[in-house]
Amino acid sequence: MPSTRRARGSARRIPVAAKTSRKRKYSQAASKDVEGAMRRRKRGTLKSGKGGKGGRVESRKQAIAIGLSEARKKGKKVPRKRRPAR
């Protein structure tokens, strides 16, 4: 019999969906690369641009993008970049 729970303020029972396993989009190794980029951003050593010749990165989103890009270059499991629809 599937597990159920009571709806708040009601006598009827609602079935609870069983947990299903999901496939990872990003590997754990890729998330380590993002963590490293975030740490470098906090220290103020994360640079943007080719070969780190750009300015200092302060944006959280930009730091995540740089970390994912580095993971991609190393061949870790990261989805492809989204291309703009034309």
Residue 70 belongs to a domain: yes
The range of the structural domain enclosing residue 62 comes to 24-75
- What is the separation, in whole angstroms, between the first and last Cα of the chain? 50
Domain count, the chain: 1
In a domain, 67, yes or no: yes
Q: What value does the mean pLDDT take over residues 23-44?
A: 93
Domain membership flag for residue 59: yes
Determine, yes or no, domain membership for 8: no
Q: What is the pLDDT of residues 37-60, one digit of tens each?
A: 999 999 999 998 888 788 899 999
pLDDT > 60? residue 1? no
Q: Considering the chain, what is the average pLDDT of its residues?
A: 84
- Tell me if residue 15 falls in helix, strand or coil: strand
**21, two tokens:** 């396993």
pLDDT for the residue 68? 92
Q: Does residue 3 fall inside a structural domain?
A: no
Q: What pTM was estimated for this model as a whole? A: 0.67
Helix, strand and coil in the chain, % to nearest 5: 40, 10, 50
